[in-house]
Amino acid sequence: MPYAAVDVDGVLADVRHRLPHLQHRPKDWDAFFAAAPDDPLLPEGEAVARRLAEDHRIVYLTGRPERCRRDTEAWLQQHGLPEGRLVMRRQGDRRPARVTKVELLRRLIQEAPVDVLVDDDVEVLEAARTAGFAVLPADWMPRALDEQLTLADAQQTEGRT
């Protein structure tokens, strides 16, 4: 079966309650990631993951660092999301999400076709599309402009999620 790659933050997990940790200098990355187990589930993302799991192997492709693996796996299980492989950013990898995720997708296609990437980051979506991957924009988590800018900075400038 082909893969369906599904992002976690902003696709399945509502991260808005954690963003205040990143809106001041210095950014409190420890607090940001420590609060991840409390993320509410986004019902639209859950529905997409369940639908894709019917005829795909799910890969949860997240920009979260490897040190968050245990919490992320527990969160996925707690919310009863489809079984799937969790692929995370290597510890210390601060490249933009658009670079790391396309690299990870290219690794995955060495194993099986990747039919679709579901992500909320427009730069990741564009890079994946340019690299030849089909994408599904996850636009269901409403965000204020300051929240959009905070997430874009965390994903593309800071390379942290």
The pair of structure tokens assigned to 140 is 């269901």
What is the pLDDT averaged over residues 124-152? 90
Kind and range of the H or E element at 140?
none
Residues 149, 140: Cα–Cα separation, whole Å = 17
Write down the pLDDT at residue 157.
77
**pLDDT of the residue at 159:** 64
pLDDT value of residue 154 = 76
Query: For 20-76, how does the pLDDT look when each residue is reduced to its tens digit (9 = 90+)?
Result: 999 888 989 999 999 999 999 999 999 999 999 999 999 999 999 999 999 999 999
Rounded to 10°, the helix 97-108/122-130 angle is 40
Amino acid at position 146, single letter: D
In three-state secondary structure terms, 58 is strand
Confidence of residue 148 (pLDDT cuts 50, 70, 90): confident
**What tens digit of pLDDT does each residue of 100-110 get?**
999 999 999 99
Give kind and range of the element (H or E) at residue 102: helix 97-108
pTM above 0.75, yes or no: yes
